[in-house]
Amino acid sequence: MSIQHLGPIAGIASSAQWIATAGYDNRLILWDKATRRAVQLAHHDHLVNQCAFSADGHWLVSASSDYSARVWSLPDLKLHAVLSEHADDVDMAAFSPDDRLIATCALDRCVRIFQRDGRCLHTMRGHTGNVLSLAWSHDGQQVGTSSVDGTIRTWSSTSGMQTDRKSTR
């Protein structure tokens, strides 16, 4: 049986060797770039919204509507950790530039910073609407987030404190 998605593909990520796809069929699929073949399959308990590779290419993180993000080793897609502190759909997860931390954002209006082993270090609150996306600063000291509340906020990754807020309206 071939590995494939059985519904819409919601997210895609690329590394030097791999492509990963996140699907509304609860599937996370790892593809070999050279052969264009699916090589591994993993599952969440609900929709998989996004995925992202670590910079070193050893890890993949997936964000899901099962209220979790999950960390997978590569290339076997073996589950390494479940990041399960959110109270609603996790829309995005991303590794810090040094791959030691993972930031997540969710429909519970929170942003969280986790260690790769799943331990939550910081919960950042301040958005008044669902938090849909995030990005790490190049030095890993800050995380920027955007929300349906019309604001962009910046957070310290070491303290969890908000450092800046801008309205887009």
State the residue for tokens 């996004």. 50
Predicted confidence band of residue 166 (pLDDT cuts 50, 70, 90): confident
Over 70: is that where the pLDDT of 1 sits?
Answer: no
CA distances (Å), 158 to each of 59, 69, 121, in order? 22, 20, 9
CA-nearest of 52, 46, 57, 42 to 12 is: 52
The answer on pLDDT for 11 being more than 80 is: yes
pTM above 0.85, yes or no: yes
